[in-house]
Amino acid sequence: MDSRILNVLNEEQREAVTAPDGPALVLAGAGSGKTRVLTHRVAWLLEKGVPAHRMLVLTFTKKAARVLQHRLADLLTGPQVLLWAGTFHHVGYRLLREFGSRIGYAGTPVVIDREDQVDLLKSILSAFPEGLRKELPPAGQILNAISLSRNSMVSLEDVIYDRFSGLIPVIETVTRIRTEYEEVKKKDRLADFDDLLTGWLDILESGPDVLELLQERFRFLLVDEYQDTNPLQSTILDKLAARHKSFFVVGDDSQSIYSFRGAHVENILTFPDRYPEARIYRLETNYRSSPPILDLANRIILGNERRIEKTLRPFHTEEGEAPRTVGLYSDADQAHFIGSTVDQLLDGGTQASEIAILYRSHYLSLPIQFELARRKIPFSITSGLRFYEQAHIKDVLAHLRLLLNPRDTLAMTRLLRMIPRMGERSSEKLIRVLGEVEDVFSGLTDEKVLKTAPSLSREGVRKLGERLFSLRELQRKEESTVGLLVMEILEEGYRRDLYDIREDPEEREADLVAFAEQLGEQKDLEGFLGEITLLENLEEMALSNASVPDRVILSSIHQAKGLEWDTVFVLSMNEGVFPPEKSALRPQDLEEERRLFYVAVTRARRDLLLCVPESAISRGRGERLYPSRFLSEIGSDLVSETRYESWSF
């Protein structure tokens, strides 16, 4: 046995890596070396003589699969290529190519993406009576309900009642749409991403011969991030493992935070019940955080009833500073405090890239972005896009810009290109015609103007004109505010566009609603748009003064999972924000929010600052805020309480 495989491991890791054949659950706490254990387990099996082609190693991202292969190459002396290592969907596609005929495919199906799915569903809806079509929600929302039903293995009706209450009035129609959607895909030999998993399960259930063949082929099953599996993936794995039970899973129930994608924490919680003979290995040595931060993390997760017992212990035993709760008068002071503190850290020699600002919802980052840009502090956002660079925000801003200047060609082009079948040339042609009319918004609904657009796009162009006309009428009213205009854009048709053409529409809609609320009573549309331009210019100035890697990181907590920094700020630890009001209504959702808080805390190595504003006054609001229930749960003995005032004498 090559010493490099075992000698670098601690005792907990070594026990897991050398586990005997059979089911094994590795509970890998935050910062405990999860990836190392999985990689070394694969290397250990290969060194023991297990053929690479008899292993199935499943990850949740292509990047994780590549990292695994690269680390194996560094560990092993000879060339070893895992023939079956990748994401669930990647493996599902390969099996569909091999066994698709067993489940009714005449050849390899063509895999369609989200845009293709929306187009396919719209073509189905086009055959429905116009009155019925108008009652239906956006095609994208229907697809989301169908997808969640398939991945959770729950009836579409139950999913709608549980998660998509807006579909309840048309539940029978949505069920009919689902049936026709599946029939058309089958007839046209198409497969969406969910079909890659349902097809995999269908293959396993198509006969005992293929089930036994795949159970023998995948003699050793290894799964990364097992807490993120959905019921469909779990069922597939259980069927493959049923014969030999050589099933090695690595995960952490305390970091299961993706139920909105179908992840089911019960998969990992019930693993010992489904496999009573399973050995359980706990990786509790944390190589990342200071003892006070780990004490806080351990206290947080005690609030969850559904969990598997484990306690993180620090590898670095030097006592660090206690996590701080920072009381602030307002969310505006929160931005000022963070900007001021980051400035001090940078002046003291801290690298910008070792500072992270985490938040529950993306809109919370907006005042922080402006404050950092004003101070010329370079920053990056983990999504790769700053707030105003995101597609849905740019869509809304295009509407607002047209209210100020109906002949804003760039804004009009953006909105026209969102309409199906409106390509670059069609948009240019229509804009030239609109240049000759007196009122652009009325022109969009004029029959003569509409005839210059492709026939299949005319209804979309008309609806855009009606939406802009309605916005202008609202803008002219005394009570009009920028926030009301944003909500009007949503209500007058953009919500449907959002669900039809943008990924993660629910999250984007929540972003816009929260954004509208944050705008509050702001009435000066021209000033608001000017402020955005100023923000963009300040950001460019800040970024031009820094090398690309050395920037402060802004990230949602979901996107921060797996990352770590020396100093971490967590924004707006307020009831109704973290946890959100809606998540506090159901015990299972509240437990996931608590796990999300646990993830946020365990991103910090040395310094953790939990910000608690008392009011939200951005852009004129004066809403009273209260501390998050999570703060009262952890108590005051593990934190240092401080208060920040933005003025000084």
- Binding positions for ATP are 28-35
Output the CA angle 504-507-511, nearest 5 degrees. 135
Contacts of residues 438-446 at CB distance under 8 Å and 24 or more positions apart, as own/partner, are: 439/406, 440/402, 440/406, 440/407, 440/412, 440/468, 441/406, 441/465, 441/468, 441/469, 441/472, 442/469, 444/468, 445/469
Annotated binding site: 28-35
Dist CA 371 CA 580 (whole Å):
25
Cβ neighbours for 389, distance < 8 A, ≥ 6 positions apart: none
Q: Write down the catalytic residue from 224, 371, 395, 500.
A: 224
* Type of residue found at 391: A
The one catalytic residue in 192, 225, 354, 539 is 225
Whether 34 is a known active-site residue: answer yes
**Whole-angstrom distance, CA of residue 396 vs CA of residue 389:** 11
User: Active site residue: 12, 14, 34, 295, which one?
Assistant: 34
Marked catalytic residue, from 603, 605, 606, 619: 603
- Residue of 255, 390, 522, 567 marked catalytic: 255
Query: Helix 409-417 and helix 458-475: axis angle, to 10°?
Result: 130
Q: Distance of CA 391 to CAs 361, 385, 413, Å?
A: 16, 9, 14
Q: Is 408 a catalytic residue?
A: no
331 as an active site residue: the answer is no
Report the C-alpha gap between 253 and 27 in whole angstroms. 8
Whether 35 is catalytic: yes
How many angstroms separate the CA atoms of 273 and 320, rounded? 39
Q: Do residues 317 and 52 lie in contact, with contact meaning Cβ atoms separated by under 8 Å? A: no
What phi and psi values does residue 607 have, to the nearest 5 degrees?
A: -125, 130
224 in active site = yes
Query: 380 - beta bridge partners?
Result: 553
* Selection from 113, 112, 125, 115 nearest residue 188 by Cα: 112
Query: Cβ distance 420 to 500 under 8 Å?
Result: no
Residues 6+ apart with CB under 8 A from 377: 339, 342, 343, 346, 352, 542, 552
Q: Which residue among 18, 35, 69, 285 is the active-site one?
A: 35
Angle CA(415)–CA(421)–CA(423) in degrees, nearest 5?
A: 65
Query: Which residues have a catalytic role annotated?
Result: 34-35, 224-225, 255, 603
